[in-house]
Structure 1
């Protein structure tokens, strides 16, 4: 079932709801520059185990409205708060992939974990996405210059940018048809939202946010991730007290495709 939720004046966020209404809720936040449909193969399976899966299109992506402003992590986290409160959700497992993981972490800090039961971080673009001086886990993250190139390509040849981004996403081989479907997800976004969230990815940091997380946290990360290297997962585990790191030995950034069966099993086991 699809519907819209108003998160601020003239800004409506698109939601898809899968599974039993009284099921334990899992709220999925997609990564850059995709939409809620990227979790299709979780929506197909997890409701069979009784979970209610709620997919959100972030503002500017998928079927949501495309305002000119509002692409900071703070504003995106506030949108998630509006979704949770409007739907009157309780005991939520907040699940974020890539940039969605960063937004989930900001939500936990900014809104004191409001209504969150557990936190699942999937190949999260956190605690930082781009290289910084003093980063203790090695300079394996993407440079700011590389993100600037993505922003420039977004404004000049977005389809080619998405094509090249897709090449880095998967470690396992995928079909040409699947590549076309995946690129189509990115093309539904507005160019403005794609560029402005890339600025947030480039500039924002989440070091202080991690210390404010006080719910069970699962960190799911592909060992061969070229977009958010595995060292980021190690930094998250070090920074989030009591967190559990689950490595995916045969996956890149798209671990929920590369090792789909294992991912669904591990996520369900983590939620319990």
Structure 2
């Protein structure tokens, strides 16, 4: 399996599928999952002739489980090392949830010289936490409850999240997929405890406002109007006001897990944006 070793000795696992001479699309996953969660989109675009690359963030999946560096700055720096190692250019970066914050922070810290476009799906920017300047965010008590549940019974919490709000299976009329729940649980339990715990702070308290301002490339925001994890009002609808060249598409009634629940529509939106 392909890995790179970062400057601080962390091994980052990545997948590199499709046409090695094709246009490059990279995928950044959400908390506390790994690159497997993008398999539908990766297979679809690779089958269309693109080169698709997705990594497991440090502390997640098959990557190392370091005690340090479980924050958005380091996640972005790890991604920069991967891009440099593979010498990727003209990339379309795609990020879901925390991965969208990773994409924004990469552009904020490392610029867009290697990036042509970006897609933020159900993503955390600009800021999830409720503050005086961000009154539409979620209170710190919400994220403290995540931390408490992690320490009390991480395994059960990792069943409760996908059974309920992540996929929207707690909504009346939702068609529950036990397979998706098991997949989420498996990926979550592959995550290190410290990576799982620290990433809660990373996705909830990191302000990506300045990163969005520096994204001087076309950016597509895809977000469900019934996202119970990253509510659209304080995320995509605020982010579109900040981005220099952004476009927002709302999925009516869509849950947080758009890549898993609205597979065909997400695939087509990514392909159309690539070709635009």
Q: Same fold (TM over 0.5)?
A: yes
Q: CA RMSD in A?
A: 1.3
1-side partners of 2:267 and 2:91: how far apart? 17
Q: Please show how residues 11-30 of structure 1 align to structure 2 within 5 Å.
A: 11-30=10-29
Q: Does 1:117 align with 2:113?
A: no
Partner of residue 212 from structure 1, selected from 211, 214, 217: 214
Q: Does 1:153 align with 2:159?
A: no
2-side partners of 1:35 and 1:107: how far apart? 18
Q: Does 1:227 align with 2:234?
A: no
1:34-87 per-residue CA deviation (whole Å, 9 max, x = no partner) reads 100001111221111111111110000000001000012111110000000000
Match of 1:242 in 2: 245
Across the two proteins, how many residue pairs are aligned to each other?
268
Q: Does 1:169 align with 2:166?
A: yes
**Alpha-carbon shift at residue 246 of structure 1 (Å):** 1.2
**Alpha-carbon shift at residue 242 of structure 1 (Å):** 2.0
8 Å CA contact 1:130–1:201 kept in 2: the answer is: no
8 Å CA contact 1:250–1:258 kept in 2: the answer is: no
Which stretches in structure 1 are left out of the alignment for 5+ residues?
Answer: none
Partner of residue 265 from structure 1, selected from 261, 264, 268: 268
**Alpha-carbon shift at residue 10 of structure 1 (Å):** 2.1
Partner of residue 187 from structure 1, selected from 175, 186, 189: 189
SS at match of 2:54: strand
8 Å CA contact 1:211–1:240 kept in 2: the answer is: yes
Which stretches in structure 2 are left out of the alignment for 5+ residues?
Answer: 169-173
SS at match of 1:169: coil
**Alpha-carbon shift at residue 18 of structure 1 (Å):** 1.4
1-side partners of 2:9 and 2:213: how far apart? 34
Match of 2:64 in 1: 65
**Alpha-carbon shift at residue 9 of structure 1 (Å):** 3.1
1:188-222 per-residue CA deviation (whole Å, 9 max, x = no partner) reads 10011011111222321111221111011000111
1:214-240 per-residue CA deviation (whole Å, 9 max, x = no partner) reads 011000111110011111111111100
8 Å CA contact 1:119–1:215 kept in 2: the answer is: yes
1-side partners of 2:90 and 2:176: how far apart? 35
SS at match of 2:6: strand
SS at match of 1:146: helix
8 Å CA contact 2:57–2:75 kept in 1: the answer is: yes
Name the TM-score, length of structure 1 as normaliser.
0.95
2-side partners of 1:110 and 1:9: how far apart? 18
8 Å CA contact 2:128–2:230 kept in 1: the answer is: yes
1-side partners of 2:183 and 2:195: how far apart? 20
8 Å CA contact 1:170–1:251 kept in 2: the answer is: no
1-side partners of 2:56 and 2:138: how far apart? 25
Q: Does 1:35 align with 2:34?
A: yes
**Alpha-carbon shift at residue 170 of structure 1 (Å):** 1.3
8 Å CA contact 1:105–1:210 kept in 2: the answer is: yes
Q: Please show how residues 63-142 of structure 1 align to structure 2 within 5 Å.
A: 63-135=62-134, 139=136, 141-142=137-138
